[in-house]
Structure 1
């Protein structure tokens, strides 16, 4: 009999889900997944459903399995798309979150659900660093819906005994992520250089800042919390590096690692729903023994090597 602890990962074939599965498998976890797409490495999974979370047959998928945890990553993953289609973003997250939580309460009450939320729930905080007690004031549909899912799980925990942990994830990046700032700059810089152009222009002022966390460090942070022996039924953790970097500095650094002589300029227009400045207080996470291994410079070099291989 396999006594390895079993984790269910929703959104298992996405960027984070794929990395998390790799790292969890290395640490001896048995994996079951749900995603609309088939997994990149099928051999890692003892069970996998290519389905939406709303339609999957959970009883059949999990038959005979005693879950230790659910890592719930399914749902929308774009502020811009949520602004264009708020209801679509809502529908991709809230019904599935309710379904998996209620399934656990009825069938696997021992299992803890780890919800992958976002720092977007904080909106534009008045002070930095952002702690887990900073007021939740989202400014995008994406942040609003993450906040609603957090509230749903918090109240299920309070009123019904659900074991739930919230991860408020800051700006995760790494090879394989084909969206957001770092990938966008890489792609545009490579294309501009190929065309002989001397500059690229980004949204904003360049002074906007983020707390960037390399994807492998994010996975280690998640697994650190999963393995911690805590006595609480509900908890919230900021997952970040604790370091603030401006968009301009990050963009110029990735261009440097690409080996491209090109100027990065800004149009001064901040997109709707984008916060201005973020830096996480990760004291709570650090108390469990976590510290990021990748510096911003090291992480961006990894992304640049990947992006150059794609070109």
Structure 2
């Protein structure tokens, strides 16, 4: 049975990933600051991965086969100071896990590592991030690629795109729209909505992450995506219809972000190979 340590295991994405991994038969060590309400099939451990005193040998009787690092603060606030402030903590935690004997490391990446790009993002697409979130993710990936070459562990960089679903708990535009409608607002300030993105429901993303982590043939950068661009307006209008929300979008109230391209999506060939 493959053993996997999952950080951020009770977070927005993590709790879905833990369930998907358990469904696939993994032995899951679920690490988080909050351990209440998670899938009972996992072994929950209350851990601060940024604690300088964290020692893997004191936590695990036997080191897991894989460390799946999902923990990340303020993922929907792209210029929060925590992205750069926490960067060394992410690196040092993973460094400790690698030195303790974990043979494979999988980390949640982001399309925002790339910055402005038009068209499909592949693993060869150059990265010029335009937000603190993108800079931090890109820097962590580059550092781990160097360490992988030096120390010989296998590395999977699981790049996410535009995530939605489980929206009552989300800080994405979908969650904000849902809460606004429930609060009785009749209009919602919006951009032009013309930009096209690669949208992935969080449950499907979790299945992709779990499937990628359960195998070791496909490594490197893996785009966890649909490979299909859809306009933001089309996606949000569909969300309003599907959830029967009595609210209208106020188009043009906000400018489009300068680092968002007219259309960007992921090259899904590697994840499709994994999923079969």
How is 1:206-245 mapped onto 2 (pairs within 5 angstroms)? 206-230=193-217, 235-245=220-230
The answer as to 2:92 corresponding to 1:107 is: no
User: Quick one: which of 42, 47, 53 aligns to 2:50?
Assistant: 53
State the match for 1:301 in structure 2.
Answer: none
CA apart distance, 1:289:
3.1
CA contact (8 A) 1:8 1:70 kept: yes
Higher deviation after alignment, 71-80 or 265-274: 265-274
CA apart distance, 1:211:
0.7
Ranges in structure 2 where 5+ consecutive residues have no aligned partner:
none
Instruction: Give me the whole-angstrom Cα distance separating, in 2, the residues matched to 1:165 and 1:227.
Output: 11
State the match for 2:30 in structure 1.
Answer: 33
Computed over aligned residues only, the root mean square deviation of the Cα atoms, in angstroms, reads 2.2
CA apart distance, 1:245:
1.4
Any idea what SS the aligned residue of 1:207 has?
coil
Any idea what SS the aligned residue of 1:67 has?
coil
State the match for 2:136 in structure 1.
Answer: 145
The answer as to 2:233 corresponding to 1:248 is: yes
Q: TM-score, normalised by structure 1?
A: 0.80
Instruction: Give me the whole-angstrom Cα distance separating, in 2, the residues matched to 1:33 and 1:275.
Output: 36
Per the alignment, do residues 47 and 35 of structure 1 end up closer, same or farther by CA in structure 2, a change over 3 Å counting? Answer: closer
CA apart distance, 1:258:
2.4
State the match for 1:131 in structure 2.
Answer: 122
Q: TM-score, normalised by structure 2?
A: 0.90
Any idea what SS the aligned residue of 2:264 has?
coil
State the match for 2:85 in structure 1.
Answer: 91
CA contact (8 A) 2:196 2:232 kept: yes
State the match for 1:286 in structure 2.
Answer: 272
Larger Rg: 1
Per the alignment, do residues 275 and 65 of structure 1 end up closer, same or farther by CA in structure 2, a change over 3 Å counting? Answer: farther
Instruction: Give me the whole-angstrom Cα distance separating, in 2, the residues matched to 1:72 and 1:39.
Output: 19
Any idea what SS the aligned residue of 2:121 has?
coil
State the match for 1:303 in structure 2.
Answer: none
